[in-house]
Amino acid sequence: MTQFSKTDEEWRAMLDPEQYNVCRLKATERPFTGKYNSTKTKGVYHCVCCNEPLFSSETKFDSGCGWPSFYAPIGESAMVEIRDTTHGMIRTEVVCATCDAHLGHVFPDGPPPTGLRYCINSVCLDLVPSE
């Protein structure tokens, strides 16, 4: 359930064009172009739209898919899963539970312990490094 809302004009003023297209219009950044695809920096990844914590770097892994991948969110209530049947596929979209920002998709082909791969667009994230 959304706890944080803005008008379309407020989102456009707050986000850069790529962030707006991905987070609010459900677009996708090109694979292997995102700033967090290869990063190994320790910390917590927050939603770029509302600053809610979404993923810990401890759950990040290199899936080779071209987007940052995580095997678990920071908490069960961090995001909402939505059935996505666009582009002739059946997938599970993940959106921020606080602001409904489109983050990416989750797939059942990740590593233990969850077996999940949260494939997330870098432009949706803001990494807060740990010290």
Active-site residue, 47 included: no
Rounded to whole angstroms, the Cα distance separating 74 from 97 reads: 12
Cis link prior to 113 (omega < 30° from 0)? yes
Q: How far is CA 104 from the centre of its chain?
A: 5
Q: Do residues 61 and 70 make contact, with C-beta atoms less than 8 angstroms apart?
A: yes
CA distance 48 to 121: 11
Q: Tell me which H or E stretch contains 23.
A: helix 17-23
Tell me the C-alpha distance between 52 and 59, whole Å: 17
Catalytic residue among 47, 50, 96, 119: 119
Active site members: 119
